[in-house]
Amino acid sequence: MSEQSQAHSQSPQSRRGPQRLERRVDALEQVLMQIYGPERLVLRAGKLQALKQLRSGDLTLKVLALEKLILDDPGITHVPTRREIPKLLRQLEDELADMIARRTLEDELEKKIAERMQERHEDYVRDIRNQILKEDGGPETPETLKKLERLSQLDNVGLSGSALDVVRPQGLDEVIGQDSAIDSLMAKLASPYPQHVLLYGPPGIGKTTVARLVLNAAKKFPQSPFQESAPFVEADGTTLRWDPREVTNPLLGSVHDPIYQGARRELAESGIPEPKTGLVTEAHGGVLFIDEIGEMDPILQNKLLKVLEDKRVRFDSPYYDPDDPNIPGYVHKLFQEGAPADFVLVGATTRHPEDIAPALRSRCAEIFFEPLAPEDIERIVHNAGEKLGLTVDHDAARLISQYTLEGRRAVTLVVDAYSTAYLSLGHQPKNLDRATIQRVVSRSRLSPVKPYITREAEPGRVFGLAVAGYHGLVLEIEAAVFPAHESGRGQWRFNDTAGSMAKDSVFNAAACLRRVTGRDLSQYDIHINVIGGGNIDGPSAGVAIFVAAYSALTRMPVRLDTALTGELSLSGRVKPVGGIPEKIFGAGQAGLQRVLVPAENENDLPSTSQRPEIVLVSTVDDVLREVMS
């Protein structure tokens, strides 16, 4: 191989060596520039007398400049040869790596030191601020003062008021249909020894209003223990919640221990528990009214009963130290003596007495509010109209009474009609007519409360009575009798959805029917049906079922102005049943003229004169004599 070709083949390698060195030198320069920044690097190079060398195009001079910069030594004057550069670059790279590591560590330490100093500074400032606030006697800051001003501005803005507040009764003389309940409650509260009371009745008839007004009236009696300032504290049993750890209990009160959120800062920092009183203490010396008391938690009810007996609420906490001189006096008093809670409990419920805890019932007198009659609703409607400054047509008031028997609902419909008429006219209406009420009723999607009953007499059709809540219902019962499909294998059929006690009434009726008629019932298929579903239970439909089957079997129609109730025994005697006042009220609502009631229920008859004719019966013979046309 010639020398020319050999030199040509080696030239690329000879060129790659210097290029690699130049790239390493440039990389070192770039790292330095990232560490110091372009401006600081120029200043540093000038200080170390390396600026001209750094900007030189000579590789050896640039390496000398980098050596001065990295080693921070302006006295270095030896210019390295190209042979010395690789070794020198390795040394400079190691030194630069150490420099970067030191700087990184220093930055992290400085950051942590700055954070720690900031925390100490904030704690110091906070302590100084709290000290200043204590010395100044107030916690106000510009921000809190701004919020206070905003709240004050909101207090100056308000609506004219609620129409329901306008029409709410302001005196006992304005309460409709509850004279007996008012007299009874007044006797319980105006006594020198007032009693705890449970109020029973359907919703929307004025239990809360009556309780508040009776307390106001009782304060005026000389024998009353209630002072003029006696409070009336309301609570709702469905929303009363409590924590078994006693961390929170709005009804009875609770202890906010230092470890729990809620204790005041100055107490929490000192490890002092803070008792906070509840509604029972707020009602001290007055009345605590709990609506829907039957929905309260049973354990909370038992705790309330204990307070009723002790007339105080006791507090306890493992953090309380009676010898701690830093504990305020009121905290000592609450822990050592408890909080006073001497009040009269008035509980209201829409449930029946048997659904209320016996322990609660045994401590309370019981008062029953009557369901409102249509004429009561009409009076309520007219009174509400007068308070709104208008008259309500009689037809309009009668229409409302056909769609609700709740006083609250009736007043709401009047207010809604008032707003509708006002919007339509653009000014205060003078009266409300039937058309306006009809519009409101239609868009409220209400159904008539008075059941529709056909008056056509036919064999096998009678009217029984039942109770739903505090209202009586008329049951339309029908019977059909056919020759048995198979001779001697007659069957009785009753609603499958009926309860077991109602089905037993069918078998009792069958026994009495066989005794009265003397017929072999195995020759008949008898079907008994309760129109509307028949989801009933209890023995009180026994007499009505017997009469329906008797009428169908004998083909004799029954008087359709009469309703029946009573349990039927196998011997044909009519036994007493419950819910007599409600059933009589329901029969009157349906327009029935007479109600057959077991003679043993005579003492359960309501005292009001606005009721159907009551006929007392003792046997099925008495029943048949009264109902057969």
Distance in angstroms between the alpha carbons of the first and the last residue of the chain: 145
Residue 288's beta-bridge partner residues?
Answer: 233, 345
Q: Which two tokens stand for residue 171?
A: 């005196």
Nearest CA to 601 among 588, 614, 620, 585?
614
Q: What is the DSSP string of 133-183?
A: HHHHT----HHHHHHHHHHHHHHT---S--HHHHHS--SGGG--S-HHHHH
Nearest CA to 476 among 394, 548, 411?
548
Which residues carry out catalysis? 540, 583
Q: Return all residues near 493 (Cβ < 8 A) that are at least 6 apart.
A: 525, 526, 527, 528
Contact predicate 274/266, CB 8 Å: no
Region of 236 on the Ramachandran plot (φ > 0 left; ψ -120 to 50 alpha; else beta): beta
Looking only at Cα atoms, what is the longest distance across the chain? 149
Residue 365's beta-bridge partner residues?
Answer: 197
CA 495 – CA 491 distance, rounded (Å): 14
Give the CA distances from residue 588 to residues 350, 374, 591, 594, 597, in Å, rounded to whole numbers and listed in that order. Answer: 22, 10, 5, 8, 14
Give the CA distances from residue 177 to residues 182, 375, 380, 395, 610, in Å, rounded to whole numbers and listed in that order. Answer: 10, 9, 9, 21, 12
CA 401 – CA 399 distance, rounded (Å): 5
Q: Return all residues near 49 (Cβ < 8 A) that are at least 6 apart.
A: 68, 74
Rg (CA), the chain: 46
User: What sign does the CA torsion over 210, 215, 216, 220 have?
Assistant: positive
